[in-house]
Amino acid sequence: MGGTLVLVRHGQSDWNLKNLFTGWENPGLTDKGVEEAHTAGRNLKAEGLKFDLAFTSDLSRAQKTLDIILEELGQTGLPITRDQALNERDYGDLTGLNKDDARAKWGEEQVHVWRRSYDIAPPGGESLRDTLARSLPYYMKAIQPHVLDGKTVIVAAHGNSLRSLVMALEGLSPEEILKREISTGVPIVYKLNPNSTVASVKVLEH
């Protein structure tokens, strides 16, 4: 049968705006982030999408984004599952630091390695591979079966937890996924075949 899977990164957060490593912290959305979420909801509505289920992380910026999207769709009563398996990558000792301050402390090259390598984690934190090791099994067990059952499912999460899912869905290499930017508040709509391969993908730009 196959169904529809929508992935959306939360709208711009206060710490995105300030160029801080956020990880598992809980800053709120900026005014721009709130508007991005409203726009995402309107764009999904324009596509004629209605959701059967919603999933989000344990972090408030993703939950708030999802709430706004569902409000725009008139689906505020939709069942929502929240799980920290979908949380952003944990940046460990970098959390809360301005990216420029981190470069001053550890050096540009080291910070670049932590941010843009697949399997090297910052002190006390997670690599992208670590993030994938929790988010992908959760997707396979808790989310994908609903999509393959013909349902329409939305996942509101974070840049790196969504990168993990995009990597698996699109069959990307570690090098390819590191180059993939996932914009705040922009839904990615996947139609899946019954065998879990991607039939089509559409990015709903602002």
- Would you call 126 a catalytic residue per the annotation? no
- Annotated active-site residue in 72, 88, 126, 158: 88
- Annotated active-site residue in 10, 36, 72, 158: 10
What is the distance of C-alpha 90 from the center of its chain? 14
Token output for 88 = 């952003």
φ/ψ of 121, rounded to 5, equals -95, 145
d(CA 194, CA 68): 30
d(CA 45, CA 110): 43
Q: At what angle do helices 108-116 and 99-106 cross, to 10 degrees?
A: 120
**Listed residue (148, 123, 119) closest to 131, CA to CA:** 119
- Would you call 38 a catalytic residue per the annotation? no
d(CA 169, CA 193): 11
Catalytic site residues? Answer: 10, 88
